[in-house]
């Protein structure tokens, strides 16, 4: 057995609540989102987890989620690396639009394709495959080495940047990963073998 990798999607954001495409827009957590992040921290503390390093995106909804978790486990000052490689998928021209309004403008089927296909880009934005193209190298070069040295690593990021990472860890197809729903503020605990394969995976839900 090697180390532990903990993935947490940020708590509910203001634009999640308002049903808007968020992407790289830097919106804050809702009150519920702050509570979800604190609950995630409490669950991780209850499982006895302590971290050696934390990674998050350059967007405050993920950063604040990360900080709430570290506060909860008693590691408020832990080294935390912020990088846009972990940012949410860039929704391009859809960013800031209400999802229902987008359906009226482009049609239900087209918006569904943009949201739920693996390699189709929305106008001016990224596909999930594009998101993976920045997440995977960053994981291999910057995060995985800490885990393989036996460390425990926290990653607080976004629905699609984490989907890309889970796709690689779980060996899922593009079709399978786009169907996966990630709850806000729900920790996923991976324990990796020394050869980087997954030894176990646990989702810390209620």
Active site (annotated) includes residue 10: yes
Task: List the structure tokens of 138.
Answer: 């960053």
Burial class of residue 128 (count of CB atoms within 10 Å of its CB; 0-12, 13-18, 19+): buried
Q: What tokens does 3 get? A: 């180390």
**H-run or E-run covering 157:** strand 152-157
Query: Active-site residue among 68, 88, 126, 158?
Result: 88
Instruction: Look up tokens 């594009």; give the residue.
Output: 130
Tell whether the torsion through CA atoms of 204, 68, 75 and 54 is positive or negative: positive
**Dihedrals phi, psi of 155, to nearest 5 degrees:** -125, 110
88 is catalytic: yes
Annotated active-site residue in 10, 68, 126, 158: 10
Q: Please state the φ and ψ torsions of residue 29, each to the nearest 5 degrees.
A: -75, 150
Distance CA 94, CA 97 (A): 6
Residues involved in catalysis? 10, 88
């Amino acid at each position: 057995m090697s180390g532990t990798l903990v993935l947490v999607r940020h708590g509910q954001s203001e634009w999640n609540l308002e049903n808007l495409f968020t992407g790289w827009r830097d919106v804050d957590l809702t009150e519920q989102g702050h509570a979800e992040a604190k609950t995630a921290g409490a669950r991780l503390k209850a499982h006895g987890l302590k971290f050696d390093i934390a990674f998050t995106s350059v967007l405050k909804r993920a950063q604040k989620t990360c900080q709430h978790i570290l506060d909860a486990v008693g590691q408020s000052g832990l080294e935390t690396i912020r990088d846009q490689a972990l940012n949410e998928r860039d929704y391009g021209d859809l960013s800031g639009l209400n999802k229902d309004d987008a359906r009226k403008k482009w049609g239900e089927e087209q918006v569904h394709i943009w949201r739920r296909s693996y390699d189709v880009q929305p106008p001016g934005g990224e596909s999930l495959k594009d998101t993976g193209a920045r997440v995977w190298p960053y994981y291999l070069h910057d995060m995985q080495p800490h885990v393989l040295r036996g460390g425990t690593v926290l990653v607080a990021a976004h629905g699609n940047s984490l989907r890309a990472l889970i796709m690689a860890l779980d060996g899922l197809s593009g079709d399978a990963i786009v169907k996966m729903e990630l709850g806000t503020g729900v920790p996923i605990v991976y324990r990796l073998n020394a050869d980087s394969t997954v030894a176990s995976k646990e989702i810390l839900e209620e």
